[in-house]
Amino acid sequence: MVDQLEGNPILQEVLGKAYEPLRMFHVKLEQEGEPRGLIGPRDVDIIWERHILNSAAIVPFITDNFGVTDWQTVQGTIADVGSGGGFPGIIIAACLPQASITLIEPMERRVIWLQEVVDELQLQNVQIQHCRAEEAVVPQHGFDVVTCRAVAPMRKLVGFTMPLLRHGGRLIALKGASIEQEIEKGRSQITKAKGVNPRAYEAPVGPGLQSTHIAMVDKR
């Protein structure tokens, strides 16, 4: 089955230098993703849009956080919680080669997959922690940014992601269209977890493609 975006110039336009490593990731996902339970059977011909470009939509929100526009120069520590098949953590690592990316994932077979991907794509900037976020080893002052996609609703997510952040750090989560309601429902848990200024943005995925949504919360 051929991916609907295969050969489309949008891919290089959006991904820049990360296109080459992510093309290898795409091949691996196409061959092994569904049998290994990392993507759904109906996703096989839409891996570029649903998983890779969708994940890449978070990158400009991360670079904004560091006040840098050139993806090649972004530094800082980023933890991706519940990386699963590598979304968005592997895509972030390919796009931001100077940043330090920690993938946190408790399921063993997903950790094995993530390690294979890191080795095959020769990503030099990734560490993997095989544990739940609640048990993760955190840098002395906390991570600069925590990312995630499809892990938990905001009211639960903040409880195990905000403690990973340094003061002034930022949670940046890929979310569905109901993000505003999720934020409303989670206001007291956000405050309790030392979160401030929760907000939602529409995030472009690529020219002519349906956009996605981002939630951001700063750590007091």
Residue 62 in contact with residue 145, Cβ under 8 Å? yes
Binds ligand SAM by CB under 6 A, chosen from 53, 56, 79, 104? 104
Give 131's strand partners. none
* 160 known ligand binder: no
Q: For the chain, what percentages of helix, strand and coil (3-state, to nearest 5) are there?
A: 45, 20, 35
CB of 16 to ligand SAM, least distance (A): 22
Kindly give the interhelix angle for 19-28 and 108-120, rounded to the nearest 10 degrees. Answer: 140
CB of 125 to ligand SAM, least distance (A): 19
Q: Which is nearer to ligand SAM, 28 or 149 (CB)?
A: 149
CA–CA dist 1, 46 (Å, integer): 10
Binds ligand SAM by CB under 6 A, chosen from 84, 142, 169, 186? 84
Residue 133 in contact with residue 104, Cβ under 8 Å? yes
CA–CA dist 135, 138 (Å, integer): 9
Residue 122 in contact with residue 24, Cβ under 8 Å? no
Q: Which is nearer to ligand SAM, 134 or 184 (CB)?
A: 134
Q: Which is nearer to ligand SAM, 68 or 178 (CB)?
A: 178
Binds ligand SAM by CB under 6 A, chosen from 63, 83, 102, 147? 83
Q: Which is nearer to ligand SAM, 74 or 157 (CB)?
A: 157
Token pair of 22 as six digits? 């992510």
Binding site for ligand SAM (CB under 6 A): 81-85, 87, 104-107, 110, 132-134, 149-151, 160
Query: Which amino acids are annotated as binding site for S-adenosyl-L-methionine, given as ranges?
Result: 82, 87, 133-134, 149
